[in-house]
Amino acid sequence: MIDVIGPWNRMHHQDTLEAMFRLRHQVFVEEMGWDLPLARNGRETDQFDTARTIYLVYRDEDGAVAGSMRLIPSVLPHVLGDVFPELCSGPVPRGPAIFESSRSCISRKARRKDPNGMIWGALTCGMIEYAMLRELDFITAVMDRRMVDMARVADWHLNPLGPERRIAGGGVVAVTMPIDTHALDTVRLQRGVPDPVLSLRFAGARAA
């Protein structure tokens, strides 16, 4: 199951958040070599980790944090709108029914044991399930071009917001992700993900 941590329950999940920030440091700083000025003391956080940020957390069979994803309401500062707006040919999509997904990561240990990418699929399904609970229109993201192509091959058609750009030696593109049952069923089938994955099933989260 995917745990959802947000403004309504984060005070009960401080240990989980700490483990997640340390996982992000391991993946983005130690493995990928990103230059992130706010990462320090083995923790990776940035200006977009706020009291209103929502986190999806995947745990392994031992209960350890093995993967995570961040969701930010687009009416707040976020990566696409405040760091990479040039990736959009037009205005950056913003609105109460639009969230951004960012900082998706999976531990090295989990990746070794998951060659078919089920954990990535579970986090993605959790994102779609949560978006459907919140009745979002779509989710935006800044993605590696290869991930966009993989989604298209899997019949999940992400919509580019502008042309591909070269950033830090790689090709990236801004996209919107459709939120519907077709997208959910497509990722479940492609990655062998059970239905459903979210531990969250209460009405209060829809208004959080």
Give pLDDT tens digits for 165-194.
887 667 899 999 999 999 999 999 988 998
Which ranges constitute the DSSP H helices of 62-192? Answer: 79-82, 108-112, 118-133, 145-153, 181-191
Domains and CATH numbers, the chain: 2-200 (3.40.630.30)
* Confidence label for 36 from pLDDT (cuts 50, 70 and 90): confident
* pTM for the full predicted model: 0.92
Distance CA 13, CA 88 (A): 35
Cα-to-chain-centroid distance, residue 53: 11
- Contact (Cβ atoms closer than 8 angstroms) between residue 66 and residue 110: yes
* pLDDT at 204 > cutoff 50: no
Parallel/antiparallel/unpaired status of strands 159-160 and 138-144 = unpaired
Residue range 143-150: mean pLDDT, rounded: 83
pLDDT attached to residue 203: 45
